[in-house]
A and B are shown apart, each in its own frame.
Chain A
Amino acid sequence: MSYQNWLNYLQSAEKNSMISGRLRKVLYKFPDGRQMAEEYNLDTGIVQRRAWRKCKQLMGQPEWEIELGEEPRQLNWSANQSNGAGGGANGAGDADSLAGPEFTLRESNTAPLLTKRVTKKNIEWRIRNMPYPLEIYNVTANAEQRAIIVRTTNKKYYKVIPIPDLDRCGVAPSQANLTVHHQFNTLIITYQKPAILCEMEAQVLLLLKNVETETDMDDLLKGLMAK
């Protein structure tokens, strides 16, 4: 029941930080070769996006894996993505759906898509493209697997959602903190943050306070444009 390990791990990283718009972006380079990028909202102090880059061995550049937040919108993005998870996110209207047969395999854009979001009090998962009514779903917190498991009685969807945030402070998920909604083709799972997690996030913010921040590029550009 402690987040000290995680804090030490963050401490050990080489950190870079910059502000763009109302976002503060932090890049961590850990001694074990992994990299993590975070985006904090300056107004609320909440992490909006977090992504990991793990060292890959066989093939060229490793890819970013998104732990938190939406996938970036980018043209031709899904074309060179073998997993193509973004293909669904961007919808059929984007140029990327026209982009060639370069991909090997991707989920069709009607497949359910999971995104995660963190708010001040809660952790939220949204599973889009889920047309079935609420009774179909069976969402349980599994303390043994340290994950939330989503099942459907019609056997159309099944997902084990790990909760790295809770793992970092050594807490097992509990069913009591879990609520589920369904609207607009979307299943929303909300997990109320335990106190220790809020404490950990505050500590991380304190840690980041000491990291030097580069100049705001947007402001700089605006200044240049004005001349």
Chain B
Amino acid sequence: MAETEKIEVRDITRIERIGAHSHIRGLGLDDVLEARLVSQGMVGQKDARRAAGVVVQMVREGKIAGRCILLAGEPSTGKTAIAVGMAQALGTETPFTSMSGSEIYSLEMSKTEALSQALRKSIGVRIKEETEIIEGEVVEIQIERPATGTGQKVGKVTLKTTEMETNYDLGNKIIECFMKEKIQAGDVITIDKASGKVNKLGRSFTRARDYDATGAQTRFVQCPEGELQKRKEVVHTVTLHEIDVINSRTHGFLALFSGDTGEIKQEVRDQINNKVLEWREEGKAEINPGVLFIDEVHMLDIECFSFLNRALESDMAPVVVMATNRGITRIRGTNYRSPHGIPIDLLDRMIIIRTVSYLEKEVKEILKIRCEEEDCIMHPDALTILTRIATDTSLRYAIQLITTANLVCRRRKATEVNTEDVKKVYSLFLDENRSSKILKEYQDDYMFSEINEQEEQDPAAGGGAKRRVDVGSGDAQPMEH
């Protein structure tokens, strides 16, 4: 019994995990950019999707730089879903950088640096270059770590093709790449000599008979032929940010893989811009502008907004898509209130796409898609109840109930989730409304509730009056934000 459980655990780590938006494969538009009702994982929201389709078309043509699009709408109306759909529709060739507004508050990097890195990550450059690569099957790999745990690692690898065999010494950084890729004897790999990038192509056919537990993703490939080192004309798709890092001498290109890029000087960036434009004129490179998506954009503060104002004017700027669920609210870093928490001057440069609440029919459709995505078979009645729950509470809560209901259903050894299972989890797990209602009722039994009462008794306490008002309405305030 224990044995079978172990195997199960190992399998779970192999499968791809299911995220909140992993069911989305595109925007679900037809050739003339009309939105189909249910397609590619997207449901409803026709106008917003059509608008997003126009934006995608604009990005594909790649002529317009520095436009800004705002996706605005209430919580859980599919803003992020539309952004993910745009990314999918654009394909892997077009860079799509997704970040959250609060990501810029890193202690290691200034806000504007984080923003300009994000902007430059969203501009791709296709470069044709001849590089030397080493392609072969790993015969043997040795990595010696010093016993103390710190200090230099020493590595050796033997690679072979059908014709030859060579030993290589490994540098410290490339050892890390080897360990990250989990390279072992029998793998067929390529190493880019210039960048030190290691790529696993698959396992060699000659090792196929080994009784290894191999996942579904393991590919078997032939052992390469001819020489180990080959020259190949490759088309790199790199982003401007990657070129920046490679050329900022203090770090070197391996900083790309470790991520410790630090600040990059503006001079370096200017030089790179000029160089890239030069390459483009010579026909060596193509610029492939992409999309920067900033979720929760109201988390940016006034400095970032004014930086963006300026940065969007550059002709190397990508198309920026932002999403927010705020109405008229305070701009972070100021005391001014503004629509969506974004200053009017920046709003003026934007085109705004509004998402609206889903209809009941659409909610049902979304839940159906999510059931499929989470491998859950649900009885139509249960689905109706779940739809009801979704309209009464929230769509997110209903989605959470799918997997939990599925687990409950499996407990009683059934395969199809029925109404009882849904009711059970509905009683087991509270939604935000019920939870805050309980809080309101039993406020006095919770910890520290007496502090408020003390303040009420002491009218001289500074800010007490204001606090009291807050507390009065605070009970009703949802805990969501």
Are A156 and B165 in contact, CB atoms less than 8 angstroms apart?
yes
- Place the interface of chain B in its size category: 35 or more
Chain B residues contacting A82 (CB-CB under 8 Å) are 193-194, 196
**Among B163, B167, B173, B279, which residue has its beta carbon within 8 angstroms of that of A111?**
B167
Q: In the complex, which residues of chain B have a beta carbon less than 8 angstroms from the beta carbon of A157? A: 163-165
* Contact across chains for B196 and A58 when beta carbons are under 8 A apart: no
Q: With contacts A83-B193, A105-B196 known, is A57 near B164, CB below 8 A?
A: no
Q: A155: CB under 8 A from chain B?
A: yes
Question: In whole angstroms, what is the CA distance A101 to B156 when docked?
Answer: 13
Q: Assess whether B305 is interfacial by the CB under 8 Å rule.
A: no
- The distance in angstroms between the C-alpha atoms of A83 and B243, with both chains bound, is 21
Q: How far is the CA of A103 from the CA of B196 in the complex (A)?
A: 9
A133–B385 Cα distance when bound, in Å, is 82
Contact B173 A108 (CB under 8 A): no
The proximity string for A residues 93-118 relative to B, scoring 1 for CB distances below 8 Å and 0 otherwise, is 00000000111111110111000000
- With a cutoff of 8 Å between Cβ atoms, the chain A residues found around residue B238 in the complex are 58
What 1/0 mask marks residues of chain A from 148 to 177 whose CB sits below 8 Å from any chain B CB? Answer: 000110011111100000000000000000
Q: Which of A83, A105, A112 contacts B169 (CB 8 A)?
A: A105
Give bound CA distance, A151 to B253, whole Å: 36
A60 within 8 Å of B by Cβ? yes
The answer on a CB contact under 8 Å between B164 and A105 is no
* Cα–Cα distance between A60 and B245 once the two chains are bound (Å): 12
A58-B236, A83-B132 known; A105+B168 contact, CB < 8 A: yes
Q: Are A104 and B246 in contact (CB under 8 A)?
A: no
Which residues in chain B, 215-234, are within 8 Å of chain A measured between CB atoms? 226-227
A152 pairs with B170, CB closer than 8 A? no
Verify if A225 is at the interface (C-beta below 8 Å from B): no
For the complex, give the distance between the alpha carbons of A84 and B129 in Å.
21
Interface residue A59 (Cβ < 8 Å from any Cβ of B): yes
- Shortest Cβ distance from A156 into B: residue: B165
Residues in A whose Cβ lies below 8 Å from that of B236 = 58
Rounded to whole angstroms, the CA-CA distance of A60 and B169 in the bound complex is 25
Q: State whether A108 touches B169 (Cβ < 8 A).
A: yes
Residues of A near B129 (CB, < 8 A) are: 56-58
B187 to chain A, nearest CB (A): 16
- From A97, which residue of chain B is reached at the shortest CB distance? B169
Chain B nearest Cβ from A96, distance in angstroms: 12
Nearest B residue to A112, CB-CB: B166
Please tell me which one of the listed residues A60, A84, A102, A108 contacts residue B156 in the complex, with CB atoms under 8 A apart: A108
Asked if A105 and B247 make an inter-chain contact with CB atoms under 8 angstroms apart, the answer reads no
**B 13-52 contacts with A by CB, 8 A:** none
Residues of A within 8 A of B161 (CB): 158
Asked whether A158 and B226 contact (CB < 8 A) given A104-B173, A104-B196, A107-B167, the answer is yes
| Chain B residues with CB below 8 A from A105, complex form | 134, 168-171, 174, 191, 193, 196
- Contacting A at CB under 8 A, from B87-134, are 127, 129, 132, 134
Q: Interface on chain A toward B: helix, strand, loop, or mixed SS?
A: loop
| Contact A59 B194, beta carbon cutoff 8 Å | yes
Residues on A with beta carbons closer than 8 Å to the beta carbon of B196: 82, 104-105
Closest CB in chain B relative to A213 CB, distance in Å: 34
> Which A residue sits closest to B279, measured CB to CB?
A57
Q: How far is the CB of B159 from chain A (nearest CB, A)?
A: 10
Say how far A91's CB is from chain B's closest CB, in angstroms. 14
* Cβ < 8 Å to A, chain B residues 279-332: 279, 284-285
If A104-B171, A160-B227 touch, whether A155 touches B164 (CB-CB below 8 Å) is yes
- Write the nearest CB–CB distance from A223 to chain B, whole angstroms: 40
**How far, in angstroms, from A118 to B170 measured CA to CA in the complex?**
34
Measured CB to CB, the nearest residue on chain B to A79 is B171
Chain A residue numbers with a CB within 8 Å of B284 are: 57
Assembly CA distance A58 to B167 (angstroms):
28
* Interfacial chain B residues near A59, Cβ < 8 Å: 194, 246-247, 253
Known: A107-B166, A156-B164. A57 touches B194 (CB 8 A): no
Q: Are A151 and B163 in contact (CB under 8 A)?
A: yes
CB–CB A58/B174 < 8 A: no
A101–B152 CB distance below 8 A: yes
The interface residues of chain B lying within 8 Å CB-to-CB of A159 are 164, 227
For the complex formed, measure the closest distance between the CB of B174 and the CB atoms of chain A, giving whole angstroms.
5
Chain A residues within an 8 Å CB radius of B171: 101-106
**A58 contacts B166, CB within 8 Å?**
no
In the complex the two chains form, what is the Cα distance from A60 to B253 in whole Å?
11
Give the residue name and chain of the A residue nearest to B128 (CB).
A57
| B166 partner residues in chain A, CB cutoff 8 A | 107-108, 111-112
A110 contact from B134, B160, B167, B279, Cβ within 8 A? B167
Q: Distance (Å) between the CB of A22 and the closest chain B CB? A: 34
B452 at the interface (CB under 8 A from A): no
Query: When chains A and B are docked, how far (Å) is the Cα of A101 from the Cα of B152?
Result: 8
**A160 surroundings in chain B (CB, below 8 A):** 226-227
Cα distance A130–B359 in the bound complex, in angstroms: 76
CA distance A201 to B249 in the complex (A): 42
**A132–chain B nearest beta-carbon distance, Å:** 12
When distances are taken between beta carbons in the complex, the residues of chain A under 8 Å from B134 are 105
Contact A58 B243 (CB under 8 A): yes
CB nearest to A104 among chain B residues: B196
Judged by a CB distance under 8 angstroms, whether B172 is at the interface is yes
Chain A residue at minimal CB-CB distance from B129: A57
- List chain A residues, Cβ under 8 A from B170: 104-105
Chain A residues with CB under 8 Å of B206's CB are: none
Q: How far is the CB of A117 from chain B (nearest CB, A)?
A: 21
Q: Does B162 sit within 8 A of A, measured CB to CB?
A: yes
Point out which of B163, B227, B254, B279 has the most chain A C-beta atoms below 10 A from its C-beta. Answer: B163
Q: How distant is the Cα of A83 from the Cα of B191 in the complex, in angstroms?
A: 11
Closest chain B CB from A174 CB (angstroms): 23
Known interface pairs A58-B246, A159-B164; 17 further A-B residue pairs with C-beta atoms within 8 A, sorted by A's residue number:
A58-B127, A82-B196, A101-B173, A103-B171, A104-B170, A104-B254, A105-B168, A105-B169, A105-B174, A106-B168, A108-B167, A108-B169, A151-B163, A155-B162, A155-B165, A159-B227, A160-B227
Residues of chain A whose beta carbon lies under 8 Å from any beta carbon of chain B:
56-60, 82-84, 87, 101-108, 110-112, 151-152, 155-160
Chain A to chain B: the 6 pairs with minimum beta-carbon distance, closest first: A158-B163, A104-B196, A101-B172, A158-B164, A108-B167, A103-B171
Residues of B participating in the A interface, judged by any CB pair closer than 8 Å? 127, 129, 132, 134, 152, 156, 160-174, 191, 193-194, 196, 226-227, 236, 238, 243, 246-247, 249, 253-254, 279, 284-285
Complex A-B: 8 CB contacts under 8 Å: A58-B246, A104-B193, A105-B134, A105-B193, A108-B166, A110-B167, A155-B163, A158-B161
